[in-house]
Amino acid sequence: ALALTGPWAPLRWVVGAYTYVMRGTPLLIQVYLIYYGLGQLEWIQARWDTVWPWTHFKEPFFCALLAFSLNTAGYTAEMLAGAIRETSAGEIEAAQAYGMSRFKVMLHIVLPSAMRRTLPAYSNEVVMMLQATSLASAVPAMLDVTAAASRIYSDYYLPFEAYLAAAAIYLVASFCLIGFFRFSEGRLLAYLAPRKL
């Protein structure tokens, strides 16, 4: 987010291109590209047991986690960059008049304010990412909630029970996340609530 709002144009372009690609391509395609693309390259497979970063590409969990992390990083960077751009000039001028350096203004004024404003949108992103983890079942040998439901269906021919249980797990997890973010918003955004006389 800092690179997207920073003064150095080449870094802004690179990070902007990254967020554009991550937000513009389907998450399932990103999972496939990392697992079937990067994970299946011969020069990576030749170093699976010796070179540190490539040792993780033989694990389906790592490939799915990397795809989800890269995807949500693109969305989160754009949300936070938008909130940084919306910081009022008056806040920044007041901090500079107080004698704060540019770094301190960013650290103590702009970022905390931007993070508070981003919280409602970020909570939606976290819940959407939780629900998108069902796409991890597309990676072979990856057992997530959806893959477990599919396995129960194929072993015991109980499609409704299996998928309803998976839906219930996602629903409970989503409600827990929503409750956590509502509590956080209530604490961090309390100054925006209407005052009671």
Distances (CA, A) of 143 to 59, 61, 120, 147: 12, 9, 31, 5
The total number of structural domains in the chain stands at 1
Does residue 197 form part of some domain? Answer: no
Q: Which pTM does this prediction carry?
A: 0.78
Whether residue 38 lies inside any domain: the answer is: yes
Note whether residue 112 is domain-resident. Answer: yes
From first to last of its 197 residues, the chain has per-residue pLDDT tens of 777 787 788 888 999 999 999 999 998 899 888 888 876 777 777 776 776 776 777 788 888 889 999 999 999 999 999 988 888 888 888 888 888 888 888 888 888 888 888 888 899 999 999 988 888 887 777 778 888 888 888 888 888 898 999 999 999 999 999 999 999 888 877 776 667 76
The boundaries of the domain holding residue 80 are 2-192
Examine residue 40 and state whether it is found in any structural domain, yes or no. Answer: yes
How far apart, in whole angstroms, are the C-alpha atoms of residue 166 and residue 69? 22
CATH number at residue 122: 1.10.3720.10
